[in-house]
Amino acid sequence: MVAIMFFILSLITIGGALGTVIARNAYSSALWMITSFLGVSGLFVMLNAPFIAMLQIIVYAGAIAVLILFVMMLMDRRVLENKDRFNPQYLWGAIFGAGLLADLLALALKFKIDISQAGKNLTINGSNTKMVGDVLFKHYLFPFEMVAIVLLVALVGAIVLSKDDEKEAR
């Protein structure tokens, strides 16, 4: 049963990813991307990480995808559907990707760690969210504060870069 679920979810994930990369226009690309993210979120549930699975849906499939679709809405349709899908140097890209994948697969097949603790220690009183929060605020407080700065910088930057110049508007 677990194996079947895993198979279906990973099929959705990988299929979605392939769809994103080869889809002709950007809208279908975005929809494929959301599919892929939902598949990943299902895999996270199987890995005893329900909180992260919800986060995945909210942040990736929700916030990021909606943001991208909003920007597409601002643009002309013809801009998004250009005739040439791929770069002239796409072969090099594909070769590089295949090399990287071979490298990573060799790593995955040889990878061995102690998995006697698999699936344990991920909850406090049966709650994964509590455990994540506990570790986040006890051990990872400093990077958490840094993340606040990333978000602020990105916010200010996005506004500054995309706002209309007053001189041109006049």
Partner 1 sequence: MLVEYMIVSFLLFAIGAVGVMIRRNFLIMLMSLELMLNGAGMILIVMSYYLGNVSGQVMFIFVAAVAASETAVGLAIAIMMYKRKGSIDINDFSVLKK
Partner 2 sequence: MLYTMKDLAAIMPELIVAVFAFAILLIDLWLPKKSKGLNGVLALLGVVIAFGVTASMYSKNISAFNGMVVMDKASNFVGIIMLLTAFASIILSFDFIKREELEAGEYYEVLLFSIVAMQALASTYNLITMFVAVETLSIGMYILTGFLKNKNESVEGAMKYYILGSFASSFLVLGIGLIYGLFGSADLNIVKAGLAHADSLHKWASILAFLFIFVGFGFKIAAFPFHSWTPDVYAAAPTPMSAFMSIAPKAAAFLALLRFLIVGMGPIEVEWTKILWVVAVFTMTFGNTVALFQKDLKRLLGYSSIAHAGYMLVGITAANYLGYGSVMFYLFGYLFMNLGAFAIAEFISTKEDRGTEIANLKGMGYRYPLMGAAMLLFMFCLAGVPPTVGFVGKYYLFSAAVKSHLYYLAVIGVVNSAISAYFYLNVIVTMYMKGEPEDAKPVFNSVPLKVVVMLGALGVMYIGIFPSTFLDIAIHSIGF
* Single-letter amino acid code for the residue at 149: I
Nearest approach, Cβ of 157 to partner 1 (angstroms)? 5
CB of 141 to partner 2, least distance (A): 6
For position 60 contacting partner 1 by CB under 8 A, the verdict is yes
Name residues whose C-beta falls within 8 Å of residue 160's C-beta, 6 or more positions apart in sequence. Answer: none
Considering CB distances under 5 to 8 angstroms, the limit depending on partner class, which of partner 2, partner 1, none binds residue 35? none
Of partner 2, partner 1, none, which one does residue 12 interact with (CB within 5 to 8 Å by kind)? none
Report, in Å, the least distance between residue 170 CB and partner 1.
16
Instruction: Name 19's Cβ contacts closer than 8 Å, sequence gap at least 6.
Output: 28, 29, 32, 35, 36
Query: Six-digit token pair at 108?
Result: 């995955």
Binding-site size for partner 2 (CB under 8 A) equals 27
Stretch that binds partner 2, among 19-27, 42-50, 90-98, 161-169 (CB under 8 A): 161-169
Residue 8 or 154 having the CB closest to partner 2: 154
Cβ-proximal residues to 65 (8 Å cutoff; 6+ apart), any chain:
30, 33, 34, 37
Helix (H, G, I), strand (E, B) or coil at 117: coil
Exposed e or buried b per residue across 115-129, where buried means at least 16 C-beta atoms within 10 angstroms of its C-beta: eeeeeeebeeeeebe
DSSP state of 57: I
Number of chain positions touching partner 1 (CB under 8 A) = 89
Among 5, 8, 77, 158, binds partner 1 (CB under 8 A): 158
Q: How far is the CB of 56 from partner 1 (least distance, A)?
A: 7
The verdict on 77 binding partner 1 (CB under 8 A) reads: no
